[in-house]
């Protein structure tokens, strides 16, 4: 979770490093399959950096209301906090671990709509 420019990570520094190493391994696996891992691979730090960018456009109270409104919307659509949250999609849900390249999303329209939100319309 990011608040402003601060990343709040619930584990130890070694756990964070272990998670980042696992993400790098997964990106390497995707690259070996010819998949654009810089877009579709997990990357927590890059995802959280996008949230920092989102924070700077609003005062904190406004951003929190907007973010948690997106969380409510996501819960209504997917029964998850983030898979349909526009703020998580805007921060790249693949990088944040909300979406996985090979796993389908329910409802099915969510992935093409979300991909357009991160500039991957086709
Ligand atoms: Zn996020």
51-103: per-residue pLDDT in tens?
A: 999 999 999 999 999 999 999 999 999 999 999 999 999 999 999 999 999 99
Rounded to the nearest angstrom, the distance between the alpha carbon of 22 and the centre of ligand 1 is 18
Q: Is the pLDDT of residue 104 over 80?
A: yes
CA angle 112, 87, 18 (to 5 degrees): 95
Domain contains 3 = no
C-beta of residue 88 within 8 angstroms of C-beta of residue 69 = no
Q: Predicted confidence band at 44 (pLDDT cuts at 50, 70, 90)?
A: very high
- Count the Cβ atoms, other than its own, within 10 Å of residue 87: 20
Q: Residues 94, 100: contact at Cβ < 8 Å?
A: yes
Please indicate, yes or no, if residue 2 is contained in any of the structural domains. no
Q: Does residue 4 sit within a domain?
A: no
The pLDDT value given to residue 122:
60
Q: Is residue 112 in some structural domain?
A: yes
Whole-number Å distance, alpha carbon 70 to ligand 1 midpoint, is: 11
Indicate whether this model's pTM tops 0.75: yes
- In whole numbers, what is the pLDDT of the chain averaged over residues? 95
In the chain the first and final C-alpha atoms are separated, in Å, by 30
Domains of the chain: total: 1
Domain that holds residue 17: 10-117
pLDDT of 85 reads: 97
Ion ligand 1: residues, Cβ under 5 Å: 88, 91, 96
> Are the C-beta atoms of 2 and 8 separated by less than 8 Å?
yes
Whether 5 is covered by a domain: the verdict is no
């Amino acid at each position: 979770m990011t608040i402003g420019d601060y990343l709040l990570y619930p584990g130890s520094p070694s756990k964070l490093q272990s998670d980042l190493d696992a993400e790098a391994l997964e990106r390497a696996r995707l690259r070996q399959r010819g998949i654009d891992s810089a877009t579709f691979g997990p990357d927590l730090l890059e995802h959280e950096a996008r949230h920092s960018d989102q924070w700077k456009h609003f005062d904190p109270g406004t951003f929190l209301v907007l973010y948690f409104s997106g969380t409510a919307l996501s819960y209504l659509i997917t029964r998850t906090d983030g898979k349909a949250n526009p703020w998580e999609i805007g921060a790249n849900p693949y990088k944040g671990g909300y979406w996985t390249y090979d796993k389908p999303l329910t409802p099915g329209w969510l992935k093409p709509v979300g991909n357009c939100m991160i500039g991957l319309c086709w």
